[in-house]
Amino acid sequence: MNNKTLEKLHFDKLKEIVKAYCISSLGKELIDKLTPSTDLKQVNRRLEETSEGRRLLDASYHIPLEGVANINPLLDKIDKGAVLEPTELLVIGDFLRGSRKIKSFIKNKEGYAKTLAAYGESITELEFIEEEINKSINGSRVDAGASKELKKIRNHIDICEGKIKEKLNKFIKNPSNKEFIQEYFISQRNGRFTVPIKAGYKNIVQGTIVEASAKGNTVFVEPYAIEKYSSELNILKAEESIEEYKILATITDMIYGNIRELKINIEVISEFDMIMAKAKYSREIGGIKPKLNEIGYINIKDGVYPLINNPVPLNFKIGDEYRSLIITGPNAGGKTVVLKTIGLLILAVQSGLHIRCNVESEISIFKKILIDIGDEQSLENALSTFSSHVKNLSEILRESNKSTLLLLDEIGSGTEPNEGAALAIAILEEFYQMGCITIASTHYGEIKNFSQKHPHFQNAAMEFKLDTLEPLYKLHIGQSGDSNALYIARKMGISEKIIEKTKGYIENKNYNYDTLNESKVNKTKKEINTDSFYQYERGDKIRLLDKNLIGIVYEEMDKDNNLIVMIDKNKEFIKVNYKRIKLEMKAEELYPEGYDLNQLFVEYRERKLEHDINRGSKKVIKRLLKEGRKIKN
């Protein structure tokens, strides 16, 4: 299987999940090496093994794999002629005991796991080696009962050490030595028996200095009185080492004589650990063994992508009425996830893993699964997004055949749309003629139209909520989707006039080539006729250039070219020169015909009068007094 496919579909991540269910490193190493099989019989056997393991678990049976270690390094050591240490022999002994327990367990489980029970028959029980190890090794050393000679030597060692201790105790208890002794006990240093002596008396006490304390206050002396026994003890220790080596070599040789059987045991136990890890994973996800074929027919019902939490189930079908499927829909709508779900579920099945889906699901076994997913542009190799996609497609074209599944994301993207769509359609046609099963995603309408008209192509769309624009991640086969650009544009406030134009352009490409009205073009000062200027009218909408405020013309220009303008922001009336304003929109464009402009300024006189009074205008006050006297008269 193509390594790029395994990497892009995150097959290693799936293996890591399954590996966590292994008990020993044996099973983990096997899963690390696991690759999808392309042989239908082997895939079926792998899946049946997982099913048998699942049946054992469902019946509350567990293969006793605990404590079984990987002994391959020890066997390699023996192969190189080395003799195993006592602790290493204990590991071998534990493995032999574990092998025996596993064989005994699986022997009577044929009703649940016929294949696994047959595997168990391949395990060789080497009880004679196990017993020899148990008899000869005690803890981390060779047991005295391993041989008569070793027992005899050990007895002599005990006697010799007893005489040494007796002599040293007499030395410690002798009152004449009290002045020299630092502490009253026998200390064994570098395999020799010594007495702690004060450093100042090291030349007075007759004996050999074996070691000194870290601070130098104490020296450890082997008195000459035990020199004879120390020499005898050294000889006995050498004899002990020779005899222990003989015993270890004998057991190692026994193991070497059965190394082939041990390696077979390792293989079987490794398989059991991996199979039970697959079974535990199957139980955890509620997985099943789907139906199998090798004719390219895929029918996934409620299939679940295994690498994300709470995924939306996928219903997918291809390979009977159509052999190529074109998936469309908005960005982030789930098109790529659909491709990855299909690819990873098939890789899982071909690796003997159960998948979470309906029991009626059916999976085809493919010789090759080739993909073009993701952007592989490279600065180093000067590859653009489009170039990287085309490079991948070129390689895929060379490798594909009738037993190939193709997963192509955004085919033809990254370049001019018309050329990209045409190239994509030509490539899709070529894949179809090769007999490939092709699943591709796209945004191009031309590809959707081609698929709709081709008898062996089918369209599918990703669904989303129209009211919230939230993707539903559901695939609807038989429906030509779009990117929902018009709906999204309308939701985002684009005018209906533009939306309707867009619909027309999509259908007939009759674009509007009318030239721009001159009034809509900004011109330089040189282009403006300075001999004339616009005659502002009441109700015109203007902008104050120095304050950037919007206003409405209240009184037209006087002889000095000044106007009275009402500012929209605070309804203030000000007098400005026509050069300080700019026309935004004429009154005739703002208001319908016959509109009463007076209602825009109805409060002007009242506000102006109040303003004049507040500022103490003598003219206004005199006029008001005059009007008041007239009323009295």
The predicted pLDDT at position 519 comes to 57
Same domain, 414 and 560: no
Residue 209, exposed/middle/buried by CB under 10 A (0-12, 13-18, 19+)?
Answer: middle
The bridge status of strand 298-303 relative to strand 314-318 is antiparallel
* 434 vs 632 pLDDT, higher one: 434
With bands split at pLDDT 50, 70 and 90, how would you rate the model's confidence at 529? very low
**What's the rounded mean pLDDT across residues 248-255?**
95
User: Is residue 273, in this structure, part of any structural domain at all?
Assistant: yes
Question: Is residue 54 predicted with pLDDT exceeding 60?
Answer: yes
Q: Crossing angle, helix 127-136 and helix 227-257, to 10 degrees?
A: 170
Same domain, 335 and 377: yes
Same domain, 422 and 476: yes
User: Is residue 91, in this structure, part of any structural domain at all?
Assistant: yes
User: Which of 452, 480, 508 marks a domain boundary?
Assistant: 480
CA-closest candidate to residue 290, choices 404, 474, 282: 282
Same domain, 53 and 89: yes
Total domains present in the chain: 4
Question: Is residue 380 predicted with pLDDT exceeding 50?
Answer: no
Question: Is residue 4 predicted with pLDDT exceeding 50?
Answer: yes
The predicted pLDDT at position 379 comes to 36
User: Is residue 347, in this structure, part of any structural domain at all?
Assistant: yes
Same domain, 98 and 163: no
Q: What pairs with residue 208 in β-bridges?
A: 222
CA-closest candidate to residue 364, choices 335, 401, 403: 403
User: Is residue 611, in this structure, part of any structural domain at all?
Assistant: yes
The predicted pLDDT at position 417 comes to 78
CA-closest candidate to residue 119, choices 268, 13, 246: 268
Contact between residue 49 and residue 115 where contact means Cβ atoms under 8 Å apart = yes
Question: Is residue 378 predicted with pLDDT exceeding 50?
Answer: no
Dihedral angle of Cα 134, 136, 139, 140, to the nearest 10 degrees: -130
Contact between residue 366 and residue 425 where contact means Cβ atoms under 8 Å apart = no
Same domain, 323 and 272: no
The predicted pLDDT at position 382 comes to 37
In DSSP notation, 544-577 reads ETTTTEEEEEEE---TTSEEEEEETTTTEEEEEE
Task: Find the CATH number of the domain harbouring 154.
Answer: 1.10.1420.10
Locus of tokens 């609807």: 476
**What's the rounded mean pLDDT across residues 433-448?**
89
* 73 vs 621 pLDDT, higher one: 73
User: Is residue 506, in this structure, part of any structural domain at all?
Assistant: no
User: Is residue 493, in this structure, part of any structural domain at all?
Assistant: no
Containing domain of residue 356, as a range?
A: 291-480
The predicted pLDDT at position 431 comes to 92
Residue 225 token pair: 């009185």
Same domain, 366 and 326: yes
Same domain, 155 and 215: yes
* 479 vs 421 pLDDT, higher one: 421
Task: Find the CATH number of the domain harbouring 344.
Answer: 3.40.50.300
* Model confidence pLDDT, tens digit, residues 542-588: 888 888 888 888 888 888 889 988 887 667 888 888 888 988 888 88
The predicted pLDDT at position 604 comes to 57
DSSP assignment, residue 382? T
Same domain, 316 and 185: no
- For 622, left (φ over 0), alpha (ψ -120 to 50), or beta? alpha
Using CA atoms, how far apart are residues 340 and 307, in angstroms rounded to an integer?
A: 10
Same domain, 118 and 267: yes
Strand order from edge to edge, sheet including 314-318? 291-293, 362-364, 298-303, 314-318
Question: Is residue 209 predicted with pLDDT exceeding 70?
Answer: yes
* Model confidence pLDDT, tens digit, residues 256-283: 999 999 999 999 999 999 999 999 999 9
Helix (H, G, I), strand (E, B) or coil at 289: coil
Quote the radius of gyration of the chain (alpha carbons, Å): 47
Task: Find the CATH number of the domain harbouring 600.
Answer: 2.30.30.30
Question: Is residue 618 predicted with pLDDT exceeding 80?
Answer: no
With bands split at pLDDT 50, 70 and 90, how would you rate the model's confidence at 117? very high
Using CA atoms, how far apart are residues 64 and 123, in angstroms rounded to an integer?
A: 14
Mean pLDDT of the chain: 85
The predicted pLDDT at position 516 comes to 59
- Name which of 284-293, 296-305, 623-632 the model is least confident about: 623-632
Same domain, 453 and 305: yes
The predicted pLDDT at position 226 comes to 86
With bands split at pLDDT 50, 70 and 90, how would you rate the model's confidence at 530? very low
Contact between residue 56 and residue 236 where contact means Cβ atoms under 8 Å apart = no
User: Is residue 474, in this structure, part of any structural domain at all?
Assistant: yes
User: Is residue 449, in this structure, part of any structural domain at all?
Assistant: yes
Same domain, 421 and 335: yes
